[in-house]
A and B are shown apart, each in its own frame.
Chain A
């Protein structure tokens, strides 16, 4: 089945450590996105990528890093510089073409807790 997969579902990290969240899609989508969601809040864009080997900062990129070495994969690293990393992280993908509808499809999310 085609879809977008995030792993792990739950992640615990010690304060001061970096941690990488995985996002893989087999929808042949060009664009991929990372969002952060805090309890009772909406979605805030961290980073996005429209094409392999290129990515752009979103609204809250500080303390995060990404890579896009393959079309299917867009891992997010939460670094020790992120002051308040405990949150629910959502990955999404979409097409990126001016002639196509570009609805975003989401993964199931990773809940990161810093202990």
Chain B
């Protein structure tokens, strides 16, 4: 079946630094989603991408839908302590198909 490889698995950064993480797939997706999960809570949708090459921002977060349709990137600028959590990517081939989740990137921010 389809698999999503998310990297890095974890990051420990200093407050104020920029963060980059990505997801790659062995096959194409037509929708990419990025979620954030805080400790003990459910994942919350951050950004949804629907078109290859699309670049979408949500505050300090920017995500891109790779032109090959097999990858997506999430960047966080000027990190702050409340950015701590696990970030998950998810891909969907077509509307009506199941989501496939990446393994998550655990972000830790040192004040």
Chain A residues at the B interface, C-beta cutoff of 8 Å: 6, 40-43, 45, 48, 88, 90, 92, 94, 96-109, 111
User: Which of A41, A101, A104, A107 has the largest number of chain B CB atoms within 10 A?
Assistant: A104
Could you say which of B40, B88, B92 contacts A42, with CB atoms under 8 Å apart?
A: B88
Query: Is A105's CB under 8 angstroms from B41's CB?
Result: no
Q: Does B104 contact A (CB under 8 A)?
A: yes
Chain B, interface size category, equals 20 to 34
Residues in A with CB closer than 8 Å to B11 are none
Q: Which residue of B lies closest to A48 (CB)?
A: B98
A100 to B48, CA, bound (A): 13
Q: Which of chain B's residues have a CB closer than 8 A to the CB of A94?
A: 99
- Nearest 7 CB-CB pairs, A to B? A106-B42, A42-B103, A98-B96, A43-B101, A108-B42, A109-B42, A106-B43
Residues of B within 8 A of A40 (CB): 106
A99→B101 CA distance, assembly (Å) = 22
